[in-house]
Chain A
Amino acid sequence: MIRACVHFFLIGAVALAAQRGYEAWELRERPVELTVKVPAGADDAEVAQLTREAILLSEARRAGWAQTDPVIFERLVANMRFVAPEEARRDAVDLYDEAVKLGMLDSDVVVRKRLLERATQVLGSVPDAQRPTDAQMQAYLDAHAKDFELPARVRFGQVFLSADQRSGSLDRDAEAMAAQLAKTDPAPAAAFRLGDPLLSRRPIALRTTRELDDTYGPGFGDQVAAAPVGRWVGPLRSTFGMHFVKVLEQIRARPPRLEEVRDQVRAEMVREVSRRLANERFEALRRHYELRVVRTGARAER
């Protein structure tokens, strides 16, 4: 557990650094000259991608991550222990320094990818000030009401006639029940006693159309949803037999209140903000670079 905690701490530190990293970038002097090497036959998309990577690597190195990132540290130490196993017992910091002297910060593909990963994280990091407020989340919810809509639901009482138990007399029994219900209009909470027992979810609670289909068979939900409120109707057919229902409450599909879907709304908004910030920040960075694209004979190392 202690080991897990140390790593947890480390991850937190890197994450915090990532959040602050973009502020540091913005303080730097501009413009910066940068040469981007691309393969001779690279198309526009490839050039754009390599340019993006070159800028991000430049920023990552200027932010000093090559000297402070624990993954890079471990990578370079491992490199040295691999190339010089006889020195494996040397102090890790010494080995790291030795790797830097050998130019591995620039040449090692894993270091490059790690720096790109962190730079990408920084580009998309969402500062606390830009995390959505309740008002913003409400506005977002209003604008995307359909995506978060709560389904229509219905509460009803019913009298059930079992096809199993009344196989020979089901239609006749249904006719008699229709007449009885029309005449007596029993209270739904007690009326189920007039028919046969049912095992499924009790209908007196609110149910969605989908739940009614799952419980009683396809199409049953739509039949109940179409029933008028306040009077006995039927028989409605289900997989199990015939049902007379009295709808007590129809709740139309509605957009949820924010407190009902706050987490989902927040997650969606943070994703969108992150994407937007990443694009804006990269364009801002790009304007501060004087780029020179050089086409080479070979494909660039990615």
Chain B
Amino acid sequence: MALLGAFAGCGSTGAAPDAGAPDGGTPERRCAAYDPLRQPFFGDTHVHTTLSLDANLQGTRLTPADAYRFAKGGEVGIQPYDARGRPLRTLQNDRPLDFAVVTDHAEFIATVSLCEDPTSVAYESHGCTLIRDEPDVAFALINANLAAAQGKAGYPDLCGPGAEACLTRGLEVWQGVQQAAADALDTSDACTFTSFIGYEWSGNPATANLHRNVIFRNTHVPAAPISYFDENYAEGLWRALGAQCLNAGTGCDALTIAHNSNLSDGLYFKWADPSGQPYGRSYAEARHDMEPLIEVYQHKGDSECLPGTPVSDELCGFEKLPYNSLGRAKLDIEDTVDPGAAPHPGDFIREALGEGMKHALELGVNPFEYGFIASTDTHIAAPGAVAEEGFPGHGGAGRSHRDALPAELTDTPFFSPGGLAVLWAEENSRDALFDAMRRREAYGTSGPRIVVRTFGGWDYPSSMCEAASFAAAGYEGGVPMGGKLSVPPSAGAAPRIAIAAQMDPGTATHPGVELQRAQVIKGWLDAAGAYHVKVYDVAGDAHDGATVDPKTCEPRGAGRKTLCTVWADPSFDPSQMAYYYVRVVQNPSCRWTTYQCLDAGVDCDAPDAVPEGFKACCDPRIERFIQERAWTSPIWYVP
């Protein structure tokens, strides 16, 4: 019977055993805290565990089950481990997450398991021996498989002929991933936590990042994850997901989330197919439909905008990496940065939004009609570990401390703790959250639990902020973040963007930081098809005078606990395509490096006395104070 069940799953689904509802979807129920006007849920959609080869080689031993336990508020032990396998550091979030997705790299999902299992046929292969004995060398050599020219990437040699060993073992590991998600899901009506089945497709030609996270709505998933070694191009991934999931007639549903376009060396939004020809409408449709969201920010930097491109915007300097791909990165502070490695403006979302509108003019579909989220991309299985103070380092391309406790800054100085994904949904269930992702009613924060809500419409009154129900008025008179404005009701009408934000209240030990201001970023194409951007301060006060005590990191001065306004576009032209997204920024606070530099007693006035490993504390490129923020998904206007 078990065998029949297993075989019946082939080609369509791989439902995990004991996964919950008979149909494999979210159990048919409403959570006790169901709100038709929707509520914000905070989570992390980008999490690596010991199943990801890079994390594993850096000493991450925590499993998907451990990662979910951490997300739900549990304490975990993290590397380094002593000789008896006891962790030397512990970690716990001060608040649990509402949802999380473990997204291990699909490409090597079997490699770790094979190489750690003495019974596997690959155990004694050169690759596995290297992984066990020389993890740093293995990291470079095996990752070379990912960095092969696009179209030529394939499974590592240790997988054997036809990659059989890895494909076989991958099925088992994938079952385990599904089971961990099933076990973590709260199926009671308390709906305290939602897990999703997911993985990462890790396209990485010549070290240019083209990665995507793949997230499934329910337990109906393909029999095996479709990896970069199976499909070398994103369009192949979407096609395969269509065949094996969305169009398989099994109840399977999936979407992809783009990330780290900032590290793609000009490729993420490049508009040419493998033969060099411009993409056509079918590609634009696939990208639009399959990839509704992009990470605007995570551990490896901010992808929103590069200063000065296309307009001056002082807040674009936030968490910028000074290179355009990890292969060209100088991951530790150096005196000089290779000029050829400078970030490309076109790799940032703000430029892509403009390009997307141009493609939409030509093709009728906007391939880059992205909604925004943020996440951590933790490689130590610590979803939602976004606190600046006490940041342990997220590993991955950063520092992991596999062999010894950190006697230096705990991560590569340019990296950061990453952010959170926020979804506006009726309840904390798989279906409700997945629907929110698909309709782009989502936003990202750089870590704080700022609540922000936007609506776009034509007739919102200026008094909407005083209305008893901002949300009811918002839905009734327009569309939420991620939506498209309707046709203007009259010739002189202009879009009105209603914005309400609320500071993160924080916790007893880490009080929240008050808000400074809210901004609307408008982008549009003029009559000649040229792209323009304008940034408007619409609420709060950019000059509220708030600062930070540089010796204690205590905030000084007041900001706003809440912000609310209805902003009308003063230069709207109904014939021009446009978008509007909102950025809400906090008053300044200390960056993670600043906390650690203070703890280490660094005095930059005495450079010779700065401890080794803390030189970056005095590097002017490392900001001492930051303005944490939230970015909402754009609201679109299409004539």
A residues contacting B by CB (< 8 A) are 1, 3-5, 7-13, 15-16, 19, 71, 74-75, 78, 109-110, 113-114, 116-117, 150-151, 153, 162-164, 192-193, 196-202, 205-208, 210-211, 213-219, 238-241, 256, 260-264, 266-267
Contact = CB atoms under 8 A, between A and B. Distances in A.
B40 interface: yes
Contact of A261 (B37, B171, B182, B188): B188
Contacts of B19: 263
B629 interface: no
B189 to A, nearest CB: 7
B35 A202 contact: yes
Nearest to A5: B10
Interface in B474-515: 500-503, 505-508, 511-512
Contacts of B503: 239-240
A164 to B, nearest CB: 5
Interface in B421-469: 449, 451, 453, 465-469
Contacts of A5: 7, 10-11, 223
30 contacts: A1-B223, A1-B244, A7-B164, A7-B167, A8-B10, A10-B168, A11-B172, A15-B6, A19-B2, A74-B165, A75-B121, A113-B118, A150-B190, A162-B561, A193-B468, A197-B466, A199-B453, A200-B39, A205-B33, A205-B35, A207-B33, A208-B192, A213-B505, A217-B505, A217-B512, A218-B507, A219-B508, A239-B511, A261-B187, A263-B183
A240 B505 contact: yes
A293 B18 CA distance: 43
Interface in B211-257: 223-224, 244
Nearest to B185: A263
A109 B7 CA distance: 32
Specify which of A208, A218, A219 lies most central, judged by the most chain B CB atoms within 10 Å of its CB.
Answer: A218
Given A4-B167, A117-B119, A197-B469, 20 more contacts: A3-B162, A4-B224, A7-B171, A8-B223, A13-B3, A78-B121, A110-B121, A197-B465, A199-B500, A201-B35, A202-B39, A208-B190, A210-B96, A218-B505, A239-B561, A241-B561, A256-B188, A263-B20, A264-B187, A267-B183
Contacts of B507: 213, 218
Contact of A153 (B10, B32, B164): B32
Contacts of B183: 263-264, 267
A1 B123 contact: no
B562 interface: yes
B131 to A, nearest CB: 16
A109 B120 CA distance: 11
B171 A151 contact: no
A218 B506 contact: yes
Contacts of B189: 260
Specify which of A110, A163, A238 lies most central, judged by the most chain B CB atoms within 10 Å of its CB.
Answer: A110
B468 A197 contact: yes
Given A217-B505, A263-B183, A110 B172 contact: no
Interface in B173-198: 182-183, 185, 187-190, 192
Contacts of B579: none
Interface residues of B, number: 70
Contacts of B187: 260-264
Specify which of A75, A109, A201, A261 lies most central, judged by the most chain B CB atoms within 10 Å of its CB.
Answer: A201
Contacts of A7: 164, 167-168, 171
B39 to A, nearest CB: 4
A164 B561 contact: yes
* Interface of chain B: mostly helix, strand, loop or mixed: loop
Interface in B132-146: none
A92 B504 CA distance: 64
Interface in B493-545: 500-503, 505-508, 511-512
Contacts of A193: 468
A96 B34 CA distance: 61
B95 interface: yes
A109 B118 CA distance: 8
Contacts of B502: 198-200, 240
B470 interface: yes
Specify which of B190, B223, B508 lies most central, judged by the most chain A CB atoms within 10 Å of its CB.
Answer: B190
Nearest to A16: B3
Contacts of B14: 8
A263 B188 contact: no
A153 B31 CA distance: 13
Contacts of B506: 217-218, 239
A205 B505 contact: no
A150 B162 CA distance: 49
B285 interface: no
Nearest to A118: B119
Contacts of B469: 197
Given A71-B120, A199-B502, A240 B561 contact: yes
B623 interface: no
Contacts of B511: 239
A263 B2 contact: no
A110 B33 contact: no
Contacts of B2: 12, 15-16, 19
A81 B430 CA distance: 50
A263 B190 contact: no
Given A193-B468, A197-B470, A12 B7 contact: yes
A78 B165 CA distance: 12
A211 B190 CA distance: 11
A116 B118 CA distance: 10
A163 to B, nearest CB: 6
Nearest to A13: B3
Given A113-B119, A114-B119, A193-B468, A163 B561 contact: yes
Contact of A4 (B171, B465, B508): B171
Contacts of A239: 503, 505-506, 511-512, 561
B50 to A, nearest CB: 19
A218 B508 contact: yes
Nearest to B466: A197
A200 B451 contact: yes
B34 to A, nearest CB: 7
A164 B503 CA distance: 12
Contact of B11 (A1, A151, A205): A1
B406 to A, nearest CB: 29
Interface string B13-53: 01000111000000000001111010110000000000000
